[in-house]
């Protein structure tokens, strides 16, 4: 196959003919179809057919030995050129199908094994050793291939008979795409299914159902996007060596060019896109970003160990007999390699995809999108802790823009509340828990976040549009230049004042209280149920959320907390199981969590002594968390009743002062009212002679007569 591409690759630009493009498309489509074939199901593999269980891995190693992936990287590096621009989606498919056979953690685990085993310097030699010649297989493939043009014409004629089929590219229809009655296009990637079963359930024609008739099981499209392949671990060193080389080459050489080209396709809504392209793009970006982040962490930890070892060796070398240790060279982390997919378009694209998938109830799409979003936030946290101040500024700027938009913060409570145990997998729960932890870690580090209005950009754009529409001449503009500058300065001043008036502080307390609910606690408990299988980080994330909930005050000036949300029967039974598990009692990673659990259980029985109904409340689902927690801790006293707490004592004194003032006012009003009633008898017309009455003589006259 590679010899077929020698002549087309030797030409560039207009020198390539239609026949050259045809040959290139045939080979690339064939490679894509070969990579899409899954391994045999292990349940049906026997001793004589055991090689069927690792056909995919053998194919990847063989393609790497035949320099096929170098050819793909050449395409990706020059993907912006006019002659290679049409292959960006096909290159994305081939790389994604290659990486789908394993996990980033497994590849990085192999990298760590190389670092600890001292094989890091010789990894290049080991990779070259894998490239064994297989000319016999290639020649056999070429000899048995037959006339490709004749087969191509036959396939074109056969494809023309099917009205429901469509072609991904202009020349070759090697990837059959079925169009359902609703207009949704699906690529046939699972060859173990029939043509009808390949189409997702959402794109099928609705069938009429009679009352009392059992409906068939719904058909999911999970395996139609990612084939059912085996997961290769770090024990398979041959495959892991190849995957490591491919990942390093893509990240270092072609990640920026390929992802920018793909983002352009999604931004302008290209007609080449099909329904599964977005998920494949998300999976590819997630795999490479997570691999690069975990590899950076492995290199940093290995570098610290080397520095520590060098310090120890220097102390030993003070006896002037031991030779000095060699200088430790700091590795190149290349932290900027994946920054092309950490821009605002990528964040908004992922957030919009999550919203669309949630609306259409595409739970697999939500899982893949949330997985990528959590990894992007994790990489931002890694950049914030970088040794380079430039990457720290980039990370802080991105975090500010993300929280400035507020779309990101508004989606997180929705992800927590839409969880259901029968719809989402454990992977989705882990990603949501990780995302929640990273968000609050950023909120704690940045303090109060200002959510500013976007009025300034809108007014500037409106003013520029008005200036373009105005048909004033250049002379008139120069004549009133000074007045225009003054008006502009005044406008900017008013705009800044308007922004200051619209500026609002982001309330972290209110944001967290909106996330705490019975469903959220239940989701965390479902993940904590597998505490033995969970990683130490996942258990730490659960501990962090429970700790925040336990000590979160409903009102800052009061003592009532959200701790009763943990006094649920599911939580208490799970805590009891962990306390009775003797295996984890001696493990250091569980020590802090177990101490926290003991404190929660102790507080539960302490509160139950004062409020016996707490045993009943533990069986109920608290619909209104804040109000329910306050009532439980107050032993169901009304919210307006007076308590002995310090804050309410102050409120009581304030109310007493208000009552005293009100009583004084009521007394004064009553006195005034009595005076008005007494004066009612004088409601008549007075004459001049009436003022001579002794009852109406002024006090001075009485005093004079008294003196006389």
Q: What angle do CA 599, 605, 607 make, to 5 degrees?
A: 100
Confidence grade of residue 324 (pLDDT, cut at 50, 70, 90): low
Write down the pLDDT at residue 451.
46
**Angstrom distance (rounded) from CA 378 to CA 181:** 41
Write down the pLDDT at residue 256.
92
The answer on pLDDT for 197 being more than 80 is no
Task: Tell which residue, 261, 335, 330, has the closest CA to residue 295.
Answer: 335
Task: Tell which residue, 487, 547, 490, has the closest CA to residue 516.
Answer: 547
- Span of 313-317, 346-350, 368-372, 510-514 with lowest mean pLDDT: 313-317
Q: Residue 418: is it exposed, middle or buried by C-beta count within 10 angstroms (0-12/13-18/19+)?
A: middle
pLDDT mean over 450-466: 55
695 compared with 663, residue with greater pLDDT: 663
**Angstrom distance (rounded) from CA 313 to CA 598:** 45
Write down the pLDDT at residue 505.
57
Write down the pLDDT at residue 544.
94
Domain ranges of the chain: 148-201, 453-467+488-505, 516-633
Write down the pLDDT at residue 582.
92
Half-sphere exposure of 339 (CA within 13 A, CB side): 13
The answer on pLDDT for 535 being more than 80 is yes
Confidence grade of residue 336 (pLDDT, cut at 50, 70, 90): confident
Q: What does the pLDDT look like over 589-612, one tens digit per residue?
A: 999 999 999 999 999 999 999 888
Write down the pLDDT at residue 652.
58
Phi, psi of 48 (to 5 degrees): -85, -20
**Angstrom distance (rounded) from CA 385 to CA 686:** 93
The answer on pLDDT for 635 being more than 60 is yes
pLDDT mean over 44-50: 67
The answer on pLDDT for 415 being more than 60 is yes
Distances (CA, A) of 150 to 4, 23, 155, 157, 678: 16, 13, 9, 11, 121
Task: Tell which residue, 642, 544, 552, has the closest CA to residue 596.
Answer: 544
Confidence grade of residue 388 (pLDDT, cut at 50, 70, 90): confident
Q: What does the pLDDT look like over 134-193, one tens digit per residue?
A: 444 334 333 444 466 666 666 655 544 433 333 455 454 445 566 655 566 665 554 444
The answer on pLDDT for 587 being more than 80 is yes
295 compared with 655, residue with greater pLDDT: 295
Which residue intervals of 450-503 are DSSP H helices?
A: 455-469, 474-479, 481-502
Q: What percent of the chain has pLDDT over 70?
A: 62
Confidence grade of residue 509 (pLDDT, cut at 50, 70, 90): confident
Cβ atoms of 288 and 338 closer than 8 Å = yes
Task: Tell which residue, 505, 509, 500, 492, has the closest CA to residue 554.
Answer: 509
- Span of 118-132, 299-313, 399-413 with lowest mean pLDDT: 118-132
- What's the gap between Cα 630 and its chain centre? 33
């Amino acid at each position: 196959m590679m010899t077929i591409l020698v002549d087309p690759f030797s030409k560039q630009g207009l020198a390539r003919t239609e026949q050259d493009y045809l040959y290139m498309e045939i080979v690339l489509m064939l490679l894509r179809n070969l990579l899409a074939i899954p391994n045999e199901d292990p349940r049906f593999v026997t001793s004589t057919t055991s090689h069927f269980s690792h056909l995919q891995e053998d194919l990847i190693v063989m393609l790497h030995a035949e320099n096929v992936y170098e050819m793909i990287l050449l395409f990706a590096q020059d993907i912006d050129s006019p002659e290679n621009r049409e292959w960006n989606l096909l290159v994305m498919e081939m790389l994604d199908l290659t990486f789908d056979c394993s996990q980033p953690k497994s590849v990085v685990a192999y990298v760590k094994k190389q670092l600890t085993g001292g094989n890091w310097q010789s990894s290049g030699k080991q990779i070259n050793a894998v490239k064994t010649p297989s000319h016999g297989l290639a020649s056999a493939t070429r000899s048995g291939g037959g006339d490709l043009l004749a087969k191509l014409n036959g396939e074109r004629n056969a494809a023309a008979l099917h009205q429901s089929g469509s072609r991904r590219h202009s020349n070759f229809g090697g990837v059959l795409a079925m169009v359902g009655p609703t207009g949704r296009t699906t690529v046939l990637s699972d060859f173990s299914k029939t043509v009808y079963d390949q189409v997702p359930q959402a794109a099928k024609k609705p069938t009429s159902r009679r009352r009392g008739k059992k409906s068939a099981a719904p058909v999911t499209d999970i395996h139609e996007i990612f084939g059912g392949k085996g997961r290769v671990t770090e024990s398979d060193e041959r495959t892991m060596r190849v995957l490591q080389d491919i990942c390093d080459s893509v990240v270092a050489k072609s990640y920026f060019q390929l992802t920018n080209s793909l983002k352009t396709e999604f931004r302008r809504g290209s007609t080449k896109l099909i329904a599964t392209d977005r998920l494949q793009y998300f999976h590819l970006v997630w795999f490479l970003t997570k691999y690069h982040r975990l590899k950076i962490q492995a290199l940093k930890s290995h570098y610290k160990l080397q520095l520590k070892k060098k310090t120890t060796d220097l102390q030993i070398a003070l006896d002037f007999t031991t030779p000095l240790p060699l200088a430790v060279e700091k590795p190149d982390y290349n932290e900027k390699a994946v920054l092309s997919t950490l821009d605002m378009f990528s964040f908004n694209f992922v957030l919009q995809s999550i919203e669309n998938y949630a609306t259409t109830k595409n739970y697999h799409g939500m899982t893949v999108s949330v997985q990528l979003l959590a990894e992007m936030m994790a990489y931002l946290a890694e950049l914030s802790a970088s040794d380079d101040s430039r990457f720290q500024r980039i990370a802080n700027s991105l975090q500010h823009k993300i929280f400035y938009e507020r779309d990101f913060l508004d989606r997180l409570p929705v992800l927590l509340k839409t969880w259901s145990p029968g719809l989402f997998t454990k992977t989705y729960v882990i990603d949501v828990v990780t995302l929640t932890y990273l968000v609050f870690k950023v909120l704690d580090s940045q303090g109060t976040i200002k959510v500013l209005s976007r009025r300034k950009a809108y007014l500037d754009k409106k003013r520029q549009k008005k200036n373009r529409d105005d048909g004033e001449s250049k002379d008139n503009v120069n004549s009133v230049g000074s007045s225009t500058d003054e008006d502009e300065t005044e406008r900017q001043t008013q705009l800044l004042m308007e922004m200051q008036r619209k500026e609002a502080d982001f309330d972290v307390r209110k944001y967290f209280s909106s996330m705490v609910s019975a469903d959220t606690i239940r989701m965390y408990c479902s993940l904590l149920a597998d505490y033995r299988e969970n990683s130490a980080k996942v258990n730490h994330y659960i501990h962090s959320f429970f700790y925040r909930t336990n000590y979160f005050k409903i009102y800052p000036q009061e003592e009532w907390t959200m701790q009763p949300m943990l006094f649920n029967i599911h939580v208490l039974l799970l805590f009891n199981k962990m306390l009775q598990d003797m295996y984890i009692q001696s493990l250091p990673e569980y020590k802090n969590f177990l101490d926290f659990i003991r404190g929660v259980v102790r507080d539960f029985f302490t509160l139950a002594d004062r409020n016996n109904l707490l045993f009943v409340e533990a069986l109920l689902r608290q619909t209104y968390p804040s109000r329910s927690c306050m009532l439980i801790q107050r032993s169901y006293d009304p919210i307006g009743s007076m308590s002995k707490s310090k804050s309410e004592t102050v409120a009581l004194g304030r109310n007493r002062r208000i009552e005293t003032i009100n009583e004084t006012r009521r007394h004064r009003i009553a006195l005034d009212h009595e005076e008005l009633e007494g004066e009612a008898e004088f409601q008549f017309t007075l004459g001049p002679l009436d003022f001579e009455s002794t009852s109406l003589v002024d006090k001075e006259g009485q005093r004079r007569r008294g003196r006389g």
